[in-house]
Amino acid sequence: MANLNIRIREAELADLELIVDFISQKSDFDGSKNLLTATADKLQQTLFCQPPLVRVLLAEVAGEAVGFAMFYASYSSLLTQPCLWLDDLFVQAPMRGMGIGTALLKYLAQIAESTNCGRMEWTVNTGNAPGIAFYEKQGARILENIMVCRIEGSAIAQLAKK
């Protein structure tokens, strides 16, 4: 692991295009580019509304952004505590394995701890063996008895009309 000076900071309004670019890069990595509809305008409406619906951290090395984490608050009725949901974590390929992902997760853990979160959660693609290994190394348990359920697009409208 390289000894880099990694700076983690909250995204600002001027970062909108950069964040959309990171989302695009992550969609390529995930093989879901065909699902990408993110735009700077749409992101601005959710990232910089009051209160923000989502937050973004940027990881910088030598003043250049090389990774990001997008997250928001969730809640556990079982714990009766807030939780932190990590929606995206992405580090550009040439910078992987240098501690940037770890720095982002550590910063998220500090946020979770300071806001009394009972847990941090996220999903990882079952085919992403390096990602799974990375998360396990950070102390994450990969839950095999829980499956993601998703209703999207026109199915939401259909369900709403039932």
Residues serving a catalytic function are 135
User: Using CA atoms, how far apart are residues 20 and 37, in angstroms rounded to an integer?
Assistant: 10
| Surface-to-core class of residue 89, CB atoms within 10 Å of its CB (0-12 exposed, 13-18 middle, 19+ buried) | buried
Q: If we measure between CA atoms, which residue out of 31, 17, 14, 11 comes closest to residue 71?
A: 11
How far apart are the C-alpha atoms of 90 and 130, rounded to whole Å?
Answer: 13
